[in-house]
Structure 1
Amino acid sequence: METLAAIRWCVPTLILVVALLIQPSVSIYCEEDDCYDLLGVTQTANSSEIKKAYYKLSLKHHPDKNPDPESKKLFVKVANAYEILKDEATREQYDYAIAHPEEVFYNTARYYHAYYGHKTDTRAVLVGLILVVSGFQYLNQWTRYNQAIDMVKKTPAYKNKLKALELERTGGVTNKKKGNKQINKKMEEDLSKELELDIKGAEKPSIWELFGIRLLLLPYTLGKLLLWYGCWFWRYQVKKAPYSWEDASYLTRRSLGVPFQSWRYVDESRKDDLIERRLWEKPNMESYVAEMRKESKRRR
């Protein structure tokens, strides 16, 4: 019972303390002043009366007309009050705050949304977000690429290629001096630049692969895709022409579910064999799958 009585006493006290600490929502507009009083108009004044009152006071208290510091402060307040009351939306919010001063959080939220929410251009935010995402994407691609290059340079195959290139450059003569490490290191860097390192899954970054560039070129990409589908339909569905090697390669890769980057590393003779099987046709694909299963069981 004592605990319940203590809670009943503390709750109203806490509410009173919070109410005293929180700034009245009306004061966020014109501070301790009333916006209508600052302009010398009533709450029922129309827009033309508010505008007329503002121009009259601005001529009187403008710093160019009146050098008095107090007059300058009053001019700032008058200008702020006019900015609030000249707009129908903010004036309506201010009138609501006057009529409902107890709704502190609601009135404060409406004020900051009206004065700061609309000042941020959505298009600018969207462009900024795209640039940030593209920047992170580019940095991530370079990080992955450099890590892959470092791993490749530690492999015996890369060192053998580097050694062979060094022998080719020096005419079969190698520098066996151990004290000239800086020169050897520089030569290694120069030679490594000549080696074409094509690493699967970690290709050299390109700006054309960035999200922002792809989004910018989206209309062109869609147009090109529609044109490609149109030509495909006309050539192979209407005219019934035989598939070209490139198009047959595309159909084969799609039937096998092989990504383009992986298909690039398939041996050319293997590609020709798969294309000749015409795997995009269902019976041929079923026969190929059955053959692969038998091959897999035989190897076990």
Structure 2
Amino acid sequence: MSTPPHRWIAVAAFALFLAFPPTFAIYCDEDDCYDLLGVSQSANSSEIKKAYYKLSLKYHPDKNPDPESRKLFVKVANAYEILKDETTREQYDYAIAHPEEVFYNTARYYRAYYGHKTDTRAVLVGLLIVISAFQYLNQWTRYTQAISMVKKTPAYKNKLKALELERKGGVGNKKKGQKQSDKNIEEGLDKELELQIKGAEKPSFWGLLAVQFLLLPYTLSKLLLWKGAWFWRYQVKKAPYSWDDACYLTQRSLRVAPDAWGNIDESTKEDLVQRHLWEKPNMDNYVADMRKEWKRRR
């Protein structure tokens, strides 16, 4: 005959109660906070305060030389810290009334006693520093790996040889002490090429999350100022778009990255800007033309 489910639940609850001490014990150890102060659970804040001052004078180490008085004084002071605050007192009363809710009461206790002691600003600063450190390390690792791969390509090696011949005046002979010179040439080539690989750029101090967070007020104010100037110039005064602003609108309409836009030749840029692609009808016509062109080439 199987055991009813409710009996298993009762057994589990009883086992849990035996395995863990009552959670109200984490407040004043094995003592009752109210008993330590000599007040009832219904005592008001004034009575609790009065009882504490009376006991603190009795057990304070400066007043009572008995070694046990110091231990009692610490217990009394701890009980007062718990009961003088409405929040912690409410939590303690709840733990007394519901000793079976072990994990819930324990979590409330540690959140109350340790959560508020940590300065949120310090936590935020520490978190930003840690994230920025990992961000920099990750970007530097990706950058060095990408550079290492580029140096293995034939294009890089050919460029290195060309630069070496250029610096040596077209003479390609090798001498005994030439290794250091070759190393210097390669280091110089790294600087001249200014290798920037998309997705693995060299890490920058200004790109770190912590720095961007510190500069956030400046960035927002600058953005608002730019938005205000844009609104005044083109919405209120109805002025024609400048070349740079028209390029920006075109680039945004085409969803082209800034570096990709910079690689487009000037004649193509001028043709795209003159189409006024930031206006929806013009953009729709341009997309239709591109589709026709693509089908024609197929």
Q: TM-score band (shorter)?
A: 0.7 to 0.9
State the match for 2:272 in structure 1.
274
Q: Does 1:217 align with 2:206?
A: no
Match of residue 38 from structure 2: 40
Are positions 1:205 and 2:203 aligned together? yes
CA deviation map 1:128-186 (0-9, x unaligned): 33333333333332233223222222222222332233233333334524785465335
Amino acid at match of 2:50: K
Q: State the partner residue of 2:114.
A: 116
What is residue 107 of structure 1 aligned with on the other side? 105
What is the alpha-carbon distance in structure 2 between the residues aligned to residue 65 and residue 125 of structure 1?
41
Q: Which residue of 2 is the match for residue 162 of structure 1?
A: 160
1:237-294 CA-partner distances (Å, limit 9, x unpaired): 4434332221121122122221223212223343233224443345554554344334
Aligned twin of 1:27:
25
- For the Cα contact (< 8 Å) 2:163–2:189, is it kept in 1? yes
Contact 1:200/1:262 (<8 A) preserved: no
Pick the aligned partner of 1:227 from 225, 228, 231: 225
Q: Which amino acid aligns with 1:132?
A: V
Deviations, residues 80-134 of structure 1 (Å, cap 9, x unaligned): 1121122122223323333444444443333233222322333433343333333
Whole-angstrom CA distance in 2 between matches of 1:71 and 1:154? 77
Partner of 2:91: 93
Conservation of the 8 A alpha-carbon contact between 1:166 and 1:191 = no
- Which range is displaced more, 138-147 or 251-260? 138-147
Residues 221 and 173 (structure 1 numbering): CA distance in 2 closer, same or farther, change over 3 Å?
Answer: same
The 5 Å alignment of 1:71-150 reads 71-150=69-148
Please report the RMSD computed on the Cα atoms of aligned residues, expressed in angstroms: 3.2
Q: Which residue is 1:242 aligned to?
A: 240
Structure 1 window deviating more from structure 2 (258-267 vs 133-142): it is 133-142
Q: Which residue is 2:187 aligned to?
A: 189
Q: Is the 8 A contact 2:13 2:100 kept in 1?
A: no
AA aligned to 1:93 is Q
Q: 2:54 aligns with which of 53, 56, 61?
A: 56
Q: Deviations over 1:193-213 (max 9, x none)?
A: 333223334333223333333
Please give the alpha-carbon distance, in whole angstroms, between the structure 2 residues aligned to 1:135 and 1:32.
46
Indicate if the aligned counterparts of 2:143 and 2:201 stay in contact, CA closer than 8 A. Answer: yes
- The DSSP-based 3-state class of the residue aligned with 1:143 is helix
Gap regions ≥5 residues in structure 2? none
Q: Structure 2: which amino acid aligns with 1:219?
A: P
What is the TM-score normalised by the length of structure 2? 0.81
1:4-15 equivalence runs, <5 A: 4=3, 14-15=12-13
Return closer, same or farther for 1:85/1:192 CA change in 2, 3 Å cut-off: same
- C-alpha separation in 1, matches of 2:279 and 2:11: 81
Residue 23 of structure 1: CA displacement?
A: 0.6
Matched-pair contact (CA < 8 Å) for 1:162–1:192: no
CA gap 1:71/1:283 in 2 versus in 1, 3 angstroms: closer
Task: Tell me, yes or no, if the aligned pair for 2:91 and 2:108 is still in contact at 8 Å.
Answer: yes
Matched-pair contact (CA < 8 Å) for 2:251–2:261:
yes
Residue 10 (structure 1) shift: 6.7
Question: Identity of paired residues, percent?
Answer: 75
